[in-house]
Chains A and B, each alone.
Chain A
Amino acid sequence: MLTIILIGFVLAIGAIAIHRLLKNYSGMAFAVYPAAAFVWFLTQYQTVASGEVVMSSMEWLPSLGIALDFKLDGLSLLFALLITGIGAIVLTYAGTYMKGVDHTDRFFVALILFMASMLGLVLSDNIISLFVFWELTSFSSYFLIGFKHEDKASRKSALEALLITAGGGLALLAGLVLLGIGGGSMSISELLTRGNELADSGLFNAAMLLIIIGCFTKSAQFPFHFWLPSAMAAPTPVSAYLHSATMVKAGIYLLARMSPVFNGADGWHATLLLFGATTMIVGAIIAILQTDLKKILAYTTVSALGLLTMLLGIGTSVAIHAVVIFILAHALYKGCLFLVAGIVDHQTGSRDIRKLGRIFKDMPYTAITAIIACLSMAGIPPLFGFISKEFSYESTIGMITNSPLTTSAFFLTGVFFTAAAGMLSYMVFFGKRNKLKVKVHEAPVTMVAGPILMALLSLVFGLSSGWINPLLDQASLAILPGNESLKMGLWHGINTELLLSLATLLVGLSAFSFIYLNPRLMSRIEISEKIKPSYAYEQVMEGIADLSKGVTRYVQNGYLRVYVSMMVGTFCVLALIILQDFGIPKISILWSDFRVYDIVIGIIMIIACFYTVMAKSRLLAIAMLGIVGYGVAFVFIIFGAPDLAMTQILIETLTVVLFVLVLWKLPRYLIFAEGFIKFRYFLVSALFGGIMTWIVMIVTQYPLDSHLKVFFSENSYPLAMGKNVVNVILVDFRSMDTLGEIVVLGIAAIGVYGLVKFNGDKKGGKA
């Protein structure tokens, strides 16, 4: 299994070269990959159907417990077959559909990448590698949705989809990690058996909620559903593949996968039911208000995803059966319909059902295919969609609580589905009149073959569902271990479900007639565009933008003094927190030590410092600075540091000289009187100075450990041959410091040279 996925990734990288080589036939060539994979998965059918699982495993990051473990059970196999099967169809289809479009190679790269990732997702048996593939599908779908990236709308939709799914992905990641920590393993198979440990760890609810959020974003559940219709900006094959058959079902897949752990928890059922139902109804209502073929399909897909979620939320035996059946049924008819929509669009140049009509004769194969798929969607026997619908009704009726409400929700949805099916088939291919300006032809066989196949499968599975019964049975067992075995069939006798189906059909058809006869209703649809649910998303995005601008203007406001005061302020706050534990140290001036010149020097330094700060003349400030420097030198002299004093005096004077050399070019000293602000800065500075004084007093009261001092004093002459211990330290004991110091000086010289000379030589002549 790893090999299959890896081949996909390699193929994705090589796709550009292959496309260059094969040009228009590349689509079919690429389709060989999923087709071959499909065949391989079919070979595993017997094994899986008999209840065994196929495992494969490879280490990846063992130190984090992350492995590329894959497990093929019923659920995985169902999805894997869908992914590879529909994948092959879509690739073939896309080869023709994308003919003549720029950068098709990039399209195939992303599509194949997606395919491989999706396979990885459904096969993974490790939560982290599952997550990796999960994000890879978001990533590749970003590029597929944004394929027409020169359109602003396309970019926007791609971003929307990415941000929503990736945002949910982050929640999912947290959820999965919590799951891993709580369950003590990264392996899904093991985790599924450790629900109790998870519950004991106290992480159960958090992990569940976060995982649900992740799945909801991916599977376009209300209130995250809006990205899916926007994603219709992608080329139609992409919509068919990602946004109906596979990617959006990844969320459903994961919910189903995790069901053994969470099923039974109240929160699980309530959340899934509530959000699933909402999504289902909202999607269905909006669907029939659309005029764009793809939009109708998109919203019905949203609704279908809601339905699946809801069924998972019901979580009973029948409901789980309904889930697996509906996954297959929906994939077949919805994939087919998307491809048909693409054909129609491709051949007629329009997707607006108000403009389309009466093209049945022009493209009969397409039309018949579409009609079959629509019948399945409407749940009309003997198509597979009918079986699916029957199971859905059965699961609601079997529910212990709230069944009337859920049943009516299903009923309503069924009605809208039927209506939508009518719109998609009748209005497009028959209808009133054709407003198109082009002559319509049937599409090439590479495009039509796929949809026909899918439509036929809807029919075949409906007529003889026994073929796939074992697979779906195993899939439902994976979702609900110990589930009773599944029995599919068209005829279960006259029962409530059948009656409901009939009622649905009738009401649905009348709803369709109503819409059809009142075209103005459809033109109201613009309203629904305006109250699009993405409004909230846009608000959030705008909020982020505003917040970020506000924060940035505040912290990064361009004023150096503010930056400095932030730094000093931070220090003061932190220091004060610690300092409050120390008392104010005692000031003990020993009058016996009193020396007049000490005091005089101190006073002169303080006054000089004051005048440096206050001076109105720049030169005075610098002269005063020099005096402070000399004062420092004198302090060094008093306390036995002649080397320091020398250096200080030399450096001090040189600094003054440099200042003087530079300053005559500058304008007059400006005094920026700012009153209150100045006072504020004064307070900050005074506080800072006070804290430093305080700290020095505290630390100097602490007894000093002088082992280094002693070592240097004893060894300087005998071992290092020098009597000036300071110099010996500089050139011997700590010569690394001095080496660094002289490098600093050298760099400073280069810097000054460059800075000064570069200025005179802007065009960059010789140095």
Chain B
Amino acid sequence: MNYDLIVIGGGPAGYVGAIRAAQLGKKVACVENDRAGGTCLNWGCIPTKALLKNAELYHTISHRADEFGLKVEGLSYDWSKVIGRSRGVSDKLNKGIEFLFKKNKVDYLKGTASIPAAGKVEVTAADGAKTTYDTANILIATGAKSRDMPGFPFNGNTVIGSREALTLEKQPKSVIVIGAGAIGIEFAYFFNAYGTKVTVVEMLPDILPVEDTEVSKTLEKSLTKAGIRILTNTKVTGTSEDGNGVKITVEGAANETLEADIALVAIGVKPVLPGGIELKLTERGWLQTDDTYQTSVKGIYGAGDIIGPPWLAHVASYEAVQCVEGMFTKHKPKKVGVFPGCTYCHPQVASIGLTERAAKEKGLKFKVGKFPYVASGKALAAAEPEGFVKILYGEPHGEIIGAHIIGSESTEMIAEIGLAMNLEATWDEIEATIHAHPTLSEMVKEATEVAKGHPIHV
């Protein structure tokens, strides 16, 4: 079989790249050895958000019913149904991707791919049968997987990564989350909402270290109030597990030995490379690609998590589309410029562009517009007074250099800012845009007026 393109990996880089190439009239196959949809759809973005929705609802009922005039006599939950809904959502979307492959005439090859040489992909099926395909181009979109801690290997039981955390048959009584990035924080929120005792250990001074410091501090306060024990500036110096649970010795903010049923290690990801031909890697082991997403070997490309940070699904899809359009059309592929990042705990966190910290380090001149949820009519009506919108506007032109939102639905509000940055809109255009009342998005305009020095509502 002779393909124009074989994509290795069926995640948001792989399946999107494959479909777009097929739409360009090319003969395309996509090889996947687990489930179509990749990490994102099966073990990442989607199932976590389903769990978080359940958790938020449960928290609202268990802690805030009275506020809404509700009385609930007996509230209980069925853990297997909580997990089950999350799995059901992934299953449904996974089937959806297989349907999209058919619809777009992408050959879906189940098996593990390796690259014996440029122009060749060998696929090993589950039963061990090997088939080799010829192809003009190869796109490696094999993604990443959870990184374990040295000397503390995953055992699927007491020391786990995010993937195992998604399908725990029994709710743990206690969890130590190591690493306070988006993934660690989302699981911390989830388990805590259901009454698991949660301790978060983070080496750096702030949780969500990539976010604006003010956002991190606000979230830390909120999660602490919700019952999560958060240890920042804290190093793990010893780990052990005895089949029933884990012991983690920490140094820093606290110096003690923590015990729990489970350690959830969320300290980052490592590359998953296909076997075969040797390709140039970056210092940290990610696939090295050029401006057209081509690797060190002609005709072999890379996109998504496998080509390095930021490890985000929407970035992965974007890269794959750029790469494929560059391969088959006159389009000059673009590298990822400005992109949003979100954390779906409650309050949600969403951001784009530079943090205040980074903008200062760069020596940029800018104005900050900050507007609190507590001054928004919609936020109060929705009983969501926690959080703020903070936008950094460059001087003297008023272009957005970064935006940081913590609070209800911030992950939707960031879309407007993303478009604004893409269009190089300035504060004038944001202010001139009539925002619907009452919405949370009005705060984007309000924050802009704060930056310009004439806010109405604060």
Partners in one complex: no
**Measuring CB to CB, which residues of chain A are less than 8 angstroms from any residue of chain B?**
none
